[in-house]
Structure 1
Amino acid sequence: MEIEIKIRLHTEEDTLKLERALGGVSESSEDQDNVFFDGAHKELISSRLVFRIRVIKKSGQDPVAVVALKGNAVLVNGIATVEEEEEFIDTDVAMRLIADPNLILEAAQTHRLLNKIVERVPCANGYSHVGRFRNIRHKYQWQGYTVEIDRTKYPHGTAYEIEIESTNPELAKARL
């Protein structure tokens, strides 16, 4: 179970002000390519599930890829609770699946989480992309929390968001 505080920021200027207040220099940065999949008849979305492959690039390191299955998301007063399971996947395999979602069934034969996804919600007519966005994430340490500041690039513009994972989100939110 993932529990995190999610707060939208309005502008790049607001985001820069927050980053300066956190010390100005991030602990780390990630360039994330997020690709979402579903079946031809929206089988996963109909089951309140999200299937994503994320390719993460950190400066000076080889990219890594992660498969995620999320479900039953609830957002109340800026606190998001979601069932989430993630597992690394070979980056070359991830790139092939992104290029051709029809390979997901084949890849599921050797990848535990992909296998769970295709068994839990069979998509008889295969898989396709249902969305994609790029996210630049900067991580800061603040009062014992890891604060993630995201700049999410969509075709229609950029969204700015703070995320803090916490086992006690009400306390973290009050401190923030």
Structure 2
Amino acid sequence: MEIEIKIRLPSEDATCMLEKTLGSPIASEDQNNVFFDGVHKELIKSRLVFRIRIIQKSDKVPVAVVALKGNAVLVNGIATVEEEEEPIDIAIARQIIDNPNLIPEAAKSHRLLQKIVERVPCPDGYSHMGRFKNIRHKFQWREYLVEVDRTTYPHGTAYEVEIESTEPEKAKESMTSLLDEHGISYGYSQRNKFENMFYGTLL
């Protein structure tokens, strides 16, 4: 179970103000996120989200990761979700992105893909659910790894702060206190990134 706080920032200016306050990032990632489902939306009907993410880190060879998420809940800026992730060969990942119907064949040699195709069979094939790009800057602030995201959808850009923590209320209070101290506007995220992509929102 992943637990994290999600705080929405209103603009690029507010995001830059926060990053200046946090100091120099310890890492940066360009993420290309692509989502898949059966042609009859079998996975989403089971409250499951299947994603392949291609990650380009600074001065490193890009990598790819498969994720399966389920039963996501987001209340008052605190998100919980059941999640499994597993690396996948980037060439295979790109082939799947080009042709989602290669998923069953790729699953024969990939544990998480195999779990996905067995858990929710999609006998009539697979298709894209959607995609978005995300630029993530990571900061070490106090005891927290703070991730600042700029997420670009076809319908606009959203700005968000995420902190994964086993004590989310404490983490949320610490971050909101910092934002208040520096006069940076914010609100709690009302939808996760997948939901914003799916519904065409920036909430």
Same fold (TM over 0.5): yes
Deviation at 1:120, TM superposition (A): 0.2
Question: AA paired with 2:50?
Answer: F
Q: Tell me, in whole angstroms, the C-alpha distance in 1 between the residues paired with 2:174 and 2:58.
A: 31
Question: AA paired with 2:154?
Answer: P
SS of the residue corresponding to residue 60 of structure 1 reads: coil
Q: Tell me, in whole angstroms, the C-alpha distance in 1 between the residues paired with 2:28 and 2:136.
A: 6
Deviation at 1:100, TM superposition (A): 0.5
TM superposition score normalised by structure 1 = 0.98
Question: AA paired with 1:174?
Answer: E
Q: Segments of 4+ in structure 1 off by > 2 A?
A: none
Counterpart in the other structure of 1:10: 10
Counterpart in the other structure of 2:148: 149
Deviation at 1:157, TM superposition (A): 1.2
Root mean square deviation of aligned Cα: 0.5
Q: Tell me, in whole angstroms, the C-alpha distance in 1 between the residues paired with 2:174 and 2:59.
A: 34
Give the unaligned 5+ runs of structure 2: 176-203
Question: AA paired with 2:130?
Answer: G
Deviation at 1:123, TM superposition (A): 0.5
TM superposition score normalised by structure 2 = 0.85
SS of the residue corresponding to residue 87 of structure 1 reads: strand
Deviation at 1:93, TM superposition (A): 0.5
Counterpart in the other structure of 1:20: 20
Counterpart in the other structure of 1:38: 37
Q: Tell me, in whole angstroms, the C-alpha distance in 2 between the residues paired with 1:55 and 1:76.
A: 28
| Larger fraction in strand | 1
Counterpart in the other structure of 1:168: 167
Counterpart in the other structure of 1:113: 112
Deviation at 1:119, TM superposition (A): 0.2
Counterpart in the other structure of 1:64: 63
Counterpart in the other structure of 1:158: 157
Question: AA paired with 1:55?
Answer: I
Deviation at 1:54, TM superposition (A): 0.1
Q: Spell out the pairing of 1:73-92 with structure 2 (5 A cutoff).
A: 73-92=72-91
Deviation at 1:57, TM superposition (A): 0.2
SS of the residue corresponding to residue 82 of structure 1 reads: strand
Deviation at 1:59, TM superposition (A): 1.6
Deviation at 1:154, TM superposition (A): 0.8
Q: Tell me, in whole angstroms, the C-alpha distance in 2 between the residues paired with 1:57 and 1:98.
A: 16
SS of the residue corresponding to residue 41 of structure 1 reads: coil
Q: Tell me, in whole angstroms, the C-alpha distance in 2 between the residues paired with 1:155 and 1:149.
A: 20
Question: AA paired with 1:95?
Answer: R
Q: Tell me, in whole angstroms, the C-alpha distance in 2 between the residues paired with 1:120 and 1:155.
A: 31
SS of the residue corresponding to residue 94 of structure 2 reads: helix
% identity of equivalent residues: 72
Deviation at 1:63, TM superposition (A): 0.4
Deviation at 1:175, TM superposition (A): 1.1
SS of the residue corresponding to residue 25 of structure 2 reads: coil
CA deviation profile, 1:104-162 (whole Å, cap 9, x unmatched): 00000010000000000000111110110000000001111000000001111110000
Give the unaligned 5+ runs of structure 1: none
Q: Tell me, in whole angstroms, the C-alpha distance in 1 between the residues paired with 2:72 and 2:29.
A: 24
